[in-house]
Amino acid sequence: MYEMNPEDFPTPEADVETVSPDALKERIDAGEDVTLLDARMQSDYDEWHIDGDTVTSINVPYYEFLDEEIDDEVLDAVPDDREVTVLCAKGGASEFVAGALKARGYDVNHLENGMNGWASIYERVEVSNYDGPGALYQYQRPSSGCLGYLLVEGDEAAVVDPLRAFTDRYLDDVAELGAELTYAFDTHVHADHISGVRELHAEGVEGVIPAPAVDRGITYAEELTTAEDGDTFAVGDATVEAVYTPGHTTGMTSYLLGERLLATGDGLFIESVARPDLEEGDDGAPAAARTLYHSLQERVLALPEDTLVGGAHFSDAAEPAGDGTYTATVGQLESQMPALTMTKDEFVELILSDMPPRPANYEEIIATNLGQNAVDDDEAFSLELGPNNCAASQESLAGD
């Protein structure tokens, strides 16, 4: 069955209300019972879909609703005793399907812009547990679990791991907070999303990339600032210090923000650790895993135990802190994550034993982030849709 463009769908049989992605997210966050009918192909649904403790998600592909006489089995799969929100990739199929259902008496609406709209949600949450100079915020993208960080001190600000799709958002947020964005840092060459460091650099922000990452073939390194281990950058009265933590990639560099939170990129998450196979493949994964072990033990766990840690991603297995951010202290992670107290051999064996699928389009995304592949904004947005999959298996690494 081929995919149809939104303009190819017949006119909906009945007018249906549209629900914004933000409104749907608010309902889910509030713990309301939500029923979703996902009209995408099963393969797309299986790769990623909206989930939650109070979310009932049903997958019935749109083509099941194209015939004038819809099969009873199809209609029986759709609850008729509650409101149902229909969604698809971009909003065209869901509007048609919702119209067909409403004409048959169902209580339905449809999600504006579909999963593309869901992927446009980007929330800024203050890290209230941060007690360093200035204010620290965590950016959260629920569709993919991507996280970024914004440090604001006085009239200066820095962002870590910005996404290209939200370039204007960072500039607007910093202006709203009464500051100027002076630095944009990348922790490494990302494999799951398109970096926004170059776009921010073009807007007058000083772009910073890890010096050890340049050898991977970054084509634009001479245009930006490179950070060596131990380099510090002033943001008002706060500092950002580069802490070299290879393992996930050879260039992986964490940043200690205000001496109180370590932005670990894809090296360490609050529920898992990095996967080691995205740069050198399966053959290089064992050596990368050993390197990661030393980075975690000697660079991260060596920090004071009350130092906050924040990764570049979160998964469904992650439990947010009391302030709503996906952060935890070094001490908490060491006590809760068995992988952090294992011997090196145990650690390597564990993280290589149950690797999840590689991120969608990861080779093209890496090439784009290296500057070897040019894509426009729409292509960049499409490339990074879906789950990030940059961590090792959460099931095997997380504590009880």
What is the average pLDDT across 285-312?
A: 97
Q: 10 is written with which tokens?
A: 């017949």
Q: What is the pLDDT of residue 9?
A: 65
Instruction: Tell me the domains of the chain and their CATH numbers.
Output: 6-118 (3.40.250.10), 123-397 (3.60.15.10)
Per-residue pLDDT tens for 360-399?
A: 899 999 999 999 999 999 999 999 998 777 778 655 454 4
Task: For residues 186 and 243, give the distance between their C-alpha atoms in angstroms, rounded to a whole number.
Answer: 12
- Number of helices (H), then strands (E), belonging to the chain: the values are 13, 18
Question: Which residue spans within 304-372 are E strands per DSSP?
Answer: 308-311, 328-329
At 374 the three-state DSSP class reads: coil
Amino acid making up residue 255:
Y
Q: What is the pLDDT of residue 390?
A: 77
Q: Count Cα neighbours of 382 within 13 Å in the Cβ-side half-sphere.
A: 7
Long-range contacts of 292-298 (CB under 8 A, 24+ apart): 292/246, 292/247, 292/248, 292/267, 292/351, 293/247, 293/344, 293/347, 293/348, 294/247, 294/344, 295/244, 295/245, 295/246, 295/247, 295/252, 295/267, 296/245, 296/247, 296/267, 296/268, 296/340
Task: For residues 298 and 291, give the distance between their C-alpha atoms in angstroms, rounded to a whole number.
Answer: 10
Lowest pLDDT segment from 62-71, 101-110, 140-149, 220-229: 62-71
Per-residue pLDDT tens for 53-94?
A: 999 999 999 999 988 899 999 999 999 999 999 999 999 899
Which one of 28, 34, 41, 88 is the catalytic residue? Answer: 88
Q: How many other CB atoms are found less than 10 A from the CB of residue 268? A: 32
Does position 116 have pLDDT exceeding 50, yes or no? yes
Q: What is the pLDDT of residue 354?
A: 78
Judge whether 146 counts as a catalytic residue.
no
Q: 1 is written with which tokens?
A: 């069955």
- Using a pLDDT cut of 70, give the percent of the chain over it: 95
What lies within 8 Å, CB to CB, of 291 at 6+ separation is 246, 247, 276
Task: Return the ∠ at Cα 246 (arms to 264 and 380), rounded to 5°.
Answer: 65
Place 7 in a pLDDT band, splitting at 50, 70 and 90.
low
Backbone dihedral angles phi then psi of residue 18, each to the nearest 5 degrees: -105, 135
